[in-house]
C-alpha cells in the first residue's frame, strides 16, 4: 500500500518555528480535485459524491445536474476522463465515477425527479439547431437562465448521434428518451423533421435573439476502395442510423469494418447482432495506437469480433478483400511493407471518421469554415453576431461529454451577450495532487464491479450489456473518494490541535479556528487527509479577516 509522507506540502516546507512570533497561521480552503478538473462537462464530482456517501441521492443528483442535465446518459457513454485524473489510482483503482453517476441518473428517471426552473422569463428567444448533447445542454441551461428556447431537429427523433450513432446495447432508448423528456418538461420545444437550410431567414421568421448551432458530425468520411460492386460498401454512420430506423440489414454473412475507432467497434458488434456469422475489423495501426478505447476493443473481441491489426484495404472483389500488411515506424505511424494478404468478406463498412454538414452556413457570410469545422471565438460565437456554435461542429475533442460542456459554456456566453455583457470563467483553485494528501485513515478498497450481460445472451438482441450499481454499491464506491482539497469533517484537525484552538460547528458547517489560541504549529495541516487546510502568512490572514 502506497502512502504519502506526513510532511507539509512542498510549497509549505520552508515554514519553521512556532510560538508568539510565528509568521504563519492555518486557514481552511477549498481546492480543486483532479477529477473535477478532468471533467469536460465541468461537474463538481467531489461535491455530489459526498452526498451519495450520506445517502442523500436527490441532493447529489441536483448538484450534479446544475452542470450536466444528462447523467443517466453520461454514466453509460462517457469515457470518464475524470477517472484518469483520480488520485485514488496512485493507491489501488480510481473511483468508478461514471457508474455512480449512472446510478443517480437512473434513480432520477425511476422517481421522476424534475429539473427546477426558477428565473423570471427574460423575454428573449433562442434558437438551438440540433438536439444532440450540445444542443440539449445549451437549451437546458438557457432555460434555467430564463430564456425561451426552441430546438430545430432535422431527424425524426431527438438525440442526434446519441440516438443514431450509439447502439442501444450501450445506450437504451428509454433512458435517452427520459432524459430528453425532462428537458422538454422545462418548457423547451423540440421541432422534429425541421432541417435548417437558411439560418438568417429562420432567425428572422422566428424572432430569435440568438442562435446556437450544434448539428454534429453526421457525414461519413469517404475513401476510395477499388471494388467490382460498390453497393457492397457502405459507411458506418448510415449503417448505424439505419439500425435505429429499422432499415439496415447485414449484407452477407461475413462483414468487414474498416477503421479503428469506437464507431468501428460499434459497427462490428452491431453486425453480429443483426445476424452476421463473422464480423472483423481491419485497422492500419496496432492496438496501442488505435483511437478506440481499450474496453471497447475488449468487449468486441469478447463477442467474437476479430481485429486485424496493421492492415489496410487495397482492393475488394466479390467476396475477397486484399489487404497490405503495415508496420509502425519510430514515430508511431503506419508504413506499408509491400506484403499482401487476402481476407474473406461479403461486404465492407467504412468507419473512418465523420464530418459536419456545412450547408447550414452557406447563406451567412460572417461564418468561417476551416478544415471542416466552424471557427468560433472563446465565447463560442462565430464571425456573425448572435450566431454561436459548438459540439462536433467546432474544433476539439468529439464526444458526448465535451459536447455537453460546450452547450453549457455557450449558454452562459449567449446569456451574457444578450444582456450586453461578457461571461468569463471564474479562476480555478489550485489542483490537489496526490503528493499533498495525508491519508492516515487509508486502507485498500477495491472498486465495485458493474455486472455485465453474459456474452452468450448478447448477440440475439440489443439488450444493454453493462448493468448499473445497486444502492449498496453506489454508496460504497462514493465512499472511496478521497475528497481531495475539500473538508469532509473528519475531525482530524480538531483532534490534532494541541491548543484546543479548533471548534466544531456542526454537520455541514465545518470548523472555526480561534486565532487567539492558535500558535501556527501546523499540526492540523499535517493531519488533514485532504489538504483542506493550509498555512498562510499572518499579514494575509489579517487582510482576509479585515483586521
304 and 336 both lie in a single domain: yes
Do 317 and 367 sit in the same domain of this protein? Answer: no
**pLDDT tens track, the chain, 547 positions:** 444 455 667 667 666 555 555 788 999 999 999 999 999 999 999 999 999 999 999 999 999 999 999 999 999 999 999 999 999 999 999 999 999 999 999 999 999 999 987 788 999 999 999 999 999 999 999 999 999 999 999 999 999 999 999 999 999 999 999 999 999 999 999 999 999 988 889 999 999 999 999 998 777 777 878 776 777 899 999 999 999 998 877 788 999 999 999 999 999 999 999 999 999 999 999 999 999 999 999 999 999 999 999 999 999 988 999 999 999 999 889 999 999 999 999 999 999 988 877 677 776 778 888 887 899 999 999 999 999 999 988 888 889 999 999 999 999 999 999 999 999 999 999 999 999 999 876 667 889 899 999 999 998 899 999 999 999 999 999 999 999 999 999 999 999 999 999 999 998 899 999 999 999 999 999 999 999 999 999 889 888 887 6
- 465 lies in some domain: yes
* Residue 287 and residue 186 share a domain: no
Report yes or no on 437 lying in a domain: no
Domain boundary among 426, 454, 479: 479
Q: What are phi and psi of 452, to 5 degrees?
A: -125, 150
The reply to whether 148 and 194 lie within a common domain is: yes
User: What pLDDT is recorded for position 1?
Assistant: 40
Q: Is 339 part of any domain?
A: yes
Helix (H, G, I), strand (E, B) or coil at 345: coil
235 and 334 both lie in a single domain: yes
Within a domain: 274: yes
Is residue 423 one of the residues assigned to a domain? no
In a shared domain, residues 237 and 144: no
Co-location of 26 and 52 in the same domain: no
Give a yes or no: residue 40 inside a domain. Answer: yes
Quick check: 228 and 317 in contact, CB under 8 A? Answer: yes
Contact 140, 115 (CB under 8 A): yes
**Residue after which a domain boundary falls, among 354, 381, 403:** 354
Q: Are 117 and 140 in contact (CB under 8 A)?
A: no
Which one-letter DSSP state was computed for residue 193? Answer: T
Give pLDDT tens digits for 297-354: 999 999 999 999 999 999 998 899 999 999 999 988 999 999 999 999 999 999 998 8
Q: Are residues 318 and 388 in the same domain?
A: no
For residue 3, the model assigns a pLDDT of 46
State the burial class of residue 204 (Cβ atoms within 10 Å of its Cβ: 0-12, 13-18, 19+).
exposed
436: DSSP letter = G
- Give a yes or no: residue 181 inside a domain: yes
Same domain, 229 and 275: yes
Pair 3, 515: CB distance under 8 Å: no
Structural domain includes residue 303: yes
The CA distance from 489 to 506, in Å, is 9
What domain range includes position 452? 34-113+442-479
Q: Which three cell numbers stand for residue 241?
A: 442510423
- Cα separation, 355 vs 261, in Å, equals 15
Eight-state DSSP code of residue 420: T
Q: Which of 394, 318, 323, 297 has its CA nearest to residue 355?
A: 394
Tell me what percent of the residues of the chain surpass a pLDDT of 90.
Answer: 76
Residues 249 and 182 in one domain: no
Q: What is the CATH number of the domain that holds 273?
A: 3.50.50.60
User: Phi then psi for 271, rounded to 5 degrees?
Assistant: -60, -40
Residues 515 and 475 in one domain: no
- How far is residue 485's CA from residue 532's CA, in Å, rounded to a whole number? 5
Answer yes or no: do 179 and 241 share one domain. no
Q: Write the Ramachandran bin of 510: left for phi over 0, alpha for psi from -120 to 50, otherwise beta.
A: left
**What's the CATH number where 72 sits?**
1.10.1060.10
Nearest to 262 by CA among 458, 391, 398: 398
- Distance CA(393)–CA(366), nearest Å, equals 16
Q: How many domains does the chain have?
A: 4
Q: What is the dihedral of CA 33, 36, 38, 39, to 10 degrees?
A: 170
Amino acid at each position: 500500500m502506497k502512502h504519502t509522507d506526513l510532511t507539509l506540502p512542498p510549497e509549505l516546507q520552508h515554514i519553521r518555528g512556532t510560538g508568539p512570533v510565528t509568521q504563519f497561521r492555518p486557514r481552511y480552503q477549498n481546492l480543486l480535485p483532479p477529477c473535477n478538473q478532468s471533467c469536460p462537462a465541468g461537474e463538481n464530482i467531489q461535491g455530489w459524491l459526498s452526498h451519495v456517501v450520506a445517502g442523500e441521492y436527490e441532493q447529489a443528483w441536483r448538484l450534479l445536474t446544475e452542470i450536466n442535465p444528462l447523467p443517466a446518459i453520461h454514466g453509460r457513454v462517457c469515457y470518464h476522463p475524470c477517472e484518469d485524473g483520480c488520485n485514488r489510482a496512485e493507491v489501488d483503482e480510481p473511483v468508478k465515477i461514471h457508474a455512480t453517476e449512472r446510478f443517480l441518473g437512473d434513480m432520477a428517471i425511476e422517481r421522476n425527479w424534475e429539473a427546477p426552473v426558477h428565473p423570471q422569463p427574460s423575454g428573449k428567444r433562442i434558437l438551438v439547431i440540433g438536439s444532440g448533447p450540445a444542443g440539449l445542454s445549451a437549451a437546458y441551461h438557457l432555460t434555467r437562465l430564463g430564456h425561451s428556447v426552441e430546438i430545430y431537429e432535422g431527424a425524426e427523433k431527438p438525440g442526434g448521434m446519441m440516438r443514431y450513432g450509439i447502439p442501444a446495447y450501450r445506450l437504451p432508448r428509454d433512458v435517452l428518451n427520459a432524459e430528453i423528456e425532462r428537458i422538454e418538461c422545462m418548457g423547451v420545444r423540440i421541432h422534429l423533421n425541421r432541417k435548417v437550410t437558411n439560418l438568417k431567414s429562420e432567425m428572422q421568421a422566428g424572432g430569435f435573439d440568438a442562435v446556437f448551432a450544434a448539428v454534429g458530425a453526421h457525414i461519413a468520411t469517404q475513401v476510395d476502395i477499388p471494388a467490382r460492386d460498390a453497393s457492397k460498401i457502405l459507411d458506418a454512420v448510415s449503417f448505424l442510423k439505419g439500425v435505429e430506423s429499422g432499415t439496415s440489414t447485414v449484407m452477407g454473412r461475413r462483414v468487414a469494418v474498416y477503421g479503428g475507432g469506437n464507431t468501428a467497434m460499434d459497427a462490428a458488434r452491431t453486425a453480429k447482432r443483426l445476424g452476421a456469422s463473422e464480423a472483423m475489423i481491419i485497422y492500419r495501426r496496432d492496438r496501442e495506437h488505435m483511437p478506440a478505447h481499450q474496453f471497447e476493443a475488449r468487449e468486441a473481441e469478447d463477442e467474437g469480433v476479430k481485429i486485424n491489426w496493421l492492415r489496410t484495404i487495397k482492393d475488394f472483389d466479390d467476396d475477397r478483400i486484399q489487404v497490405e500488411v503495415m508496420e509502425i515506424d519510430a514515430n508511431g505511424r503506419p508504413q506499408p511493407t509491400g506484403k499482401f494478404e487476402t481476407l474473406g468478406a461479403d461486404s465492407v463498412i467504412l468507419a473512418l471518421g465523420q464530418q459536419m454538414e456545412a450547408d447550414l452556413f452557406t447563406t451567412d457570410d460572417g461564418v468561417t469554415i476551416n478544415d471542416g469545422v466552424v471557427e468560433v471565438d472563446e465565447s463560442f460565437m462565430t464571425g456573425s453576431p448572435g450566431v454561436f456554435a459548438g459540439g462536433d461542429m467546432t474544433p476539439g475533442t468529439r464526444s458526448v461529454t465535451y459536447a455537453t460542456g460546450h452547450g453549457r459554456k455557450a449558454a452562459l456566453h449567449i446569456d451574457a451577450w444578450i444582456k450586453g455583457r461578457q461571461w468569463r470563467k471564474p479562476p480555478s483553485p489550485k489542483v490537489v495532487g496526490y503528493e499533498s494528501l495525508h491519508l492516515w485513515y487509508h486502507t485498500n478498497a477495491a472498486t465495485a464491479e458493474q455486472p455485465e450481460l453474459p456474452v452468450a445472451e448478447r448477440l440475439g438482441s440489443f439488450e444493454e450489456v453493462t448493468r448499473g450499481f445497486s444502492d449498496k454499491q453506489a454508496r460504497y464506491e462514493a465512499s472511496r473518494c478521497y475528497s481531495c482539497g475539500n473538508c469532509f469533517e473528519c475531525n482530524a484537525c480538531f483532534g490534532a490541535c494541541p491548543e484546543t484552538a479548533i471548534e466544531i460547528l456542526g454537520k455541514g458547517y465545518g470548523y472555526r479556528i480561534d486565532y487567539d489560541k492558535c500558535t501556527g504549529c501546523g499540526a492540523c495541516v499535517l493531519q488533514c487527509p485532504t489538504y483542506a487546510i493550509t498555512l498562510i502568512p499572518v499579514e494575509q490572514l489579517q487582510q482576509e479577516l479585515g483586521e
